[in-house]
Amino acid sequence: MRQAQAGQLTLYFFDESGFNPNPPLQSGWSLRGTTRSYCPVSHRERVNVLGCLQKGAGLVWETLTHTVQRTDVIAFFDRLAAQMTRNTIVVLDNAAIHRGAAMREKQAQWEKKGLLLWYLPPYSPELNAIEILWKHAKYFWRRFLALSGLELQHEVDALMRGFGSEHTITFQ
């Protein structure tokens, strides 16, 4: 982190997250005698996001409408490696799609380009800063509406595009 703060390398925090058509249940208020409610939408229209967060500098992201696979993660890191201008470390968890023979093969190629993957210890999501972004996007920034299909896609795209300008997080 000190090297990243000194501008000697780029430090990203990577993970993927899914957005359901139905917003997360939150506490709320309503007039006495009325109940806050919404009509649920099928979970099949989920939008997934792959993201690399660079504290204080922005977000590299991509949305998918299918289940995230290892090949999606590899393609994302290939694009990240192609646009790098200096050595980069990506911090990520030990999810099965972040590991495996295909990832190990690509890791050697990425390391030659200056992209190094650094895996967190098991069961330590609190060490991955992008988890804070996912929480804010789902629970604080997203509108409390059931959205489907393209509506949800547009909502998630707007949230990700707005990170750093309309939506910010102060990391301690």
Domain boundaries, the chain: 2-20+41-161
Q: What is the pTM of this model?
A: 0.86
Residues of the chain with pLDDT under 50: none
Q: Which two tokens stand for residue 123?
A: 């069961």
Under 8 Å between Cβ of 73 and 97: yes
Q: Sheet harboring 58-64: ordered strands across?
A: 58-64, 47-54, 10-19, 88-92, 115-119
Q: Say how many residues make up the chain.
A: 172
Rounded-to-integer distance, Cα 87 and Cα 3, Å? 11
Hey, CA dihedral for 69, 104, 13, 95, is it positive or negative? Answer: positive
Q: What is the pLDDT of residue 29?
A: 65
- DSSP code at position 115: E
User: For residue 80, what pLDDT is reported?
Assistant: 96
Helices (H) and strands (E) in the chain, counts: 5, 5
Is the domain spanning 2-20+41-161 CATH 3.30.420.10? The answer is yes
pLDDT at site 28: 63
Residue 41's pLDDT is 59
Structure confidence at residue 120 (pLDDT):
96
